[in-house]
Amino acid sequence: MHQETWPTPLVSIIVVNWNGERFLTDCLQSLDAQTWPNKEFIIVDNGSTDRSVEMLRQWSSGREKVQVLWLKENTGFTRANNLAFRKAEGEWVALLNNDAVVRPDWLANLLRRGNRSERIGMIGSKILFADPPGVIDKAGHLIYRDGQNRGRGTMEPDRGQYDQDCEILWPDACAALYHRDLIQETGGFDDSFFAYGDDADLGMRARLLGWRAWLAPEAVVYHRHSATAGAYSPLKIMLVERNRILLALKNFPLPILLQNPYWTLRRYGWHLYAALKGTGAAARFAGQHGPWRLAVNLLWSYASVVRLLLPALRQRRIIQRNRRLSSREVADLLRRYEIDVRELALRD
């Protein structure tokens, strides 16, 4: 893929911070080292109460092309980024988690794959775990038929198996590049998601509008996975399950949406099997919080969906009215990037 006519378009780099004093310095230093010359920084602090506030003040003092948005409370990943989108002046917008570190050529490699005229407006990084080293976090995303999604290649040793340029379903927003027009057409993230699954919802809505996504395997990122919320926190697990329901409810054409209960029950069955065998995320969560907390969290997820049901249905009407892909094309897309339910349940 070739970059469009401009040689060095402006890139708006957005970092959302919440109590990130442990890893913020490494993140910002890696962004300072970027070889791409034409960039601006927009940092959003989500009401931090630790030393990261002072760190950000020192880092931003006296710098040009730096904006810091100071929020009074934690508004979540979605709201914070949407506020930053309104301030961004770049043709492209790059998102990076505050617990991630990038190589100096990260931006340059992302931008080489972007192509507005071909509707390639989402570019994904090859994200590796900072610890353990040499293990893949995500190289794009895969999706299950009920809306649950997972990183492509998650927990696989990095043997170069994802080092080929290729189309992906959508990128992980931990470290991704989006075209400004895509953000404007989709409206950005859904604020009601708060965190987790938000990039999947944005990616799905962009896909329905005819946008495409590409992997930039040389754009390497080292990620301290779930360093902010914790990999198996009850809040995270609730949000993951709730938000996959919202994703399906808003984005799936009716013939696919009507099949959702079957695929969900099938997934729950495999999660139960995995928990009994002591493997997978369900077993890890039950080991930390107790088996009954799994049931409580599931009820919490569905209760939270009920509260958001009417706004989601209103959004669904707009999304389905404006989508450019037919129901058959959406079904083909989901099959092309489908994750096997056994991998989803049995692998951590």
Task: Supply angle C-alpha 171, 172, 173, rounded to 5.
Answer: 110
Counted domains in the chain: 2
155 lies in a domain?
Answer: yes
pLDDT level of residue 151 (50, 70, 90 thresholds):
very high
pLDDT surpassing 70 at residue 227 = no
114 and 207, same domain (yes or no): yes
214 and 252, same domain (yes or no): no
192 lies in a domain?
Answer: yes
- State the pLDDT at residue 231: 66
5 lies in a domain?
Answer: no
Closest to 194 (Cα-Cα) out of 66, 70, 36, 304: 304
Last-in-domain residue among 195, 223, 251: 223
229 lies in a domain?
Answer: no
**Lookup: tokens for 168:** 């992906």
**Strand (E) positions, the chain?**
11-17, 39-46, 66-71, 92-97, 100-102, 120-129, 136-138, 141-143, 149-151, 166-168, 175-179, 212-223
* Percent of the chain whose predicted confidence (pLDDT) is above 70: 96
- State the pLDDT at residue 131: 92
pLDDT level of residue 285 (50, 70, 90 thresholds):
confident
Q: State the residue range of the domain holding 60.
A: 11-223
pLDDT surpassing 50 at residue 234 = yes
What span, in angstroms and rounded, lies between the C-alpha atoms of 221 and 165? Answer: 16
The number of residues in the chain equals 348
Chain centroid to Cα 180, Å, comes to 17
What span, in angstroms and rounded, lies between the C-alpha atoms of 51 and 58? Answer: 11
What span, in angstroms and rounded, lies between the C-alpha atoms of 6 and 112? Answer: 11
Average pLDDT over residues 172-188: 98
Average pLDDT over residues 157-181: 97
Q: Convert the pLDDT of each residue in 28-70 to its tens digit.
A: 999 999 999 999 999 999 999 999 999 999 999 999 999 999 9
Query: How buried is residue 35: exposed, middle or buried, by Cβ count under 10 Å (0-12/13-18/19+)?
Result: exposed
pLDDT surpassing 80 at residue 232 = no
- State the pLDDT at residue 51: 97
63 and 186, same domain (yes or no): yes
Torsion angle of the four alpha carbons 305, 310, 247, 144, in this order, in degrees rounded to the nearest 10: 60
314 and 277, same domain (yes or no): yes
- State the pLDDT at residue 6: 47
Average pLDDT, the chain: 94
- Does residue 60 contact residue 66 with C-beta atoms inside 8 Å? yes
pLDDT surpassing 60 at residue 269 = yes
Average pLDDT over residues 297-317: 96
Amino acid at site 241: E
pLDDT surpassing 90 at residue 320 = yes
Helix (H, G, I), strand (E, B) or coil at 19: coil
- Does residue 170 contact residue 202 with C-beta atoms inside 8 Å? yes
pTM: 0.94
166 and 93, same domain (yes or no): yes
pLDDT level of residue 228 (50, 70, 90 thresholds):
low
Chain centroid to Cα 115, Å, comes to 21
pLDDT surpassing 70 at residue 9 = yes
Average pLDDT over residues 7-11: 89
Query: How buried is residue 157: exposed, middle or buried, by Cβ count under 10 Å (0-12/13-18/19+)?
Result: exposed
Helix (H, G, I), strand (E, B) or coil at 244: helix
Q: Convert the pLDDT of each residue in 62-92 to its tens digit.
A: 999 999 999 999 999 999 999 999 999 999 9
What span, in angstroms and rounded, lies between the C-alpha atoms of 343 and 268? Answer: 13
Half-sphere exposure of 172 (CA within 13 A, CB side): 28
304 lies in a domain?
Answer: yes
- State the pLDDT at residue 283: 86
- State the pLDDT at residue 1: 39
Last-in-domain residue among 201, 223, 245: 223
Q: Convert the pLDDT of each residue in 333-348 to its tens digit.
A: 999 999 999 999 988 7
